[in-house]
Amino acid sequence: MRRTARAAALAATVLLAVSACGGSDGKAEGDAAKGTSEVTVALSWSPNTDYTGLYVADKLGYLADEGIDLKVIPYASTAPETLVEQGTADFGYSYQAGVAYAQAAGHDVVAAFAPNQKGTYAIAVRADRDDIASPKDLDGKTYAGFGTPDEGPELKHIIKNDGGKGDFKNVSLSTSAYEAVYNGRADFTISVKTWEVVQAELAGKPVKTFELTDYGFPDQYSNLLATSRKYLDANGDEARGFLAAVQKGYAYAADHPKEAAGILVEAEKSAFPDPSLVEKSQQALADGGYLRDADGDVGHQSAEFWEAYGDFLYDNGLLSDADGKPLTAKPDWSTYYTNDYLPKAAQ
């Protein structure tokens, strides 16, 4: 999920308390007669390369081969995590902290597929800022942020690990954060290397980045497909078919980035006045090894990722229970995700 949508995802932990309206048990009547079933997927932001594999799976017939008709819910004011628990969506795009916030608060949200096998976030500053050579130089500077509770602790951790104090001014600007850095009204932000960094370069406003993991910060899943245990329990075969098709879609995007980008642009023409952004972003995802893990696999999640980043969230008091109180016992991270509905590999 884009950093610009993280505040909405956090709000979902409150909105999820709303009673369910509809649900995955109420599949469209007539699907069985047609020999197909409809699977609904909620996007977490405006169309971008986080979703390419889904569009590929639809366009190339991988979903049809599994007897699935795809319905996409564009991002609006309701976070995907909310739509998933309500049953309005069968799956929704999220990110690791978003799933952790929701499940810690007692909501039925679980990660079922990881389109990106490593984090795409990085600290970004203008390329011409010679006074900022590493994170420790961010002490005393202004951070253009997005209003989620994990940002401050993450940045303090990284700055301190680089030898700084971790003292900076935090200003929540949401979607204006990137422009504030480009225009010099703020000194740094957290950016998506495979989208906003590419976008800045194309706009003639290049940035330089500091990798979070280079400074002792645990890697994280910045893009996940979440669902509910209720849906999985009631529709296990459908979930397996859907995820198998989506896995093929992301594998295709990894191996054929140009063609995959073309499929996304064709499907969402109005969203991309400059198709080169999609092409360069998709190429960055492929070249950077984001779509396959070290074994060449697609979509699977690891216990190491969940334990390392999850422990960071817990140790910093960022996870709250249903009453809004910080968790007092470390969660069992194995319950926050599942690989059980995925084929073993897609290579």
Q: pLDDT (tens digit, 9 = 90+) per residue, 173-215?
A: 988 999 999 999 999 999 999 999 999 999 999 999 999 999 9
At position 84, the amino acid (one-letter code) is: V
If one counts the domains in the chain, the total is 2
- Tell me: pLDDT of 17 over 80: no
- Looking at the fold, whether 228 and 137 belong to one and the same domain comes out as no
CATH number at residue 162: 3.40.190.10
Would residue 309 count as lying in a domain? yes
Would residue 240 count as lying in a domain? yes
> What values do phi and psi take at 41, rounded to 5?
-125, 125
Would residue 344 count as lying in a domain? no
DSSP string, 206-249: -EEEEEGGGGTPPP--SSEEEE-HHHHHH-HHHHHHHHHHHHHH
- Tell me: pLDDT of 27 over 60: no
Would residue 341 count as lying in a domain? no
- Looking at the fold, whether 159 and 206 belong to one and the same domain comes out as yes
**What average pLDDT score do residues 239-247 get?**
99
Which of 177, 194, 215 delimits the end of a domain? Answer: 215
Which of 215, 237, 264 delimits the end of a domain? Answer: 215
- Looking at the fold, whether 109 and 225 belong to one and the same domain comes out as yes
Would residue 345 count as lying in a domain? no
* Inter-CA distances, 336 with 4, 95, 234, 339, Å: 23, 12, 18, 11
- Tell me: pLDDT of 344 over 90: no
The range of the structural domain enclosing residue 68 comes to 3-118+221-335
Which of 194, 215, 236 delimits the end of a domain? Answer: 215
pLDDT in tens, 274-328: 999 999 999 999 999 999 999 999 999 999 999 999 999 999 999 999 999 999 9
Q: What percentage of the chain exceeds 70 in pLDDT?
A: 89
- pTM of the model as a whole: 0.91
- Looking at the fold, whether 207 and 243 belong to one and the same domain comes out as no
**What average pLDDT score do residues 83-88 get?**
97
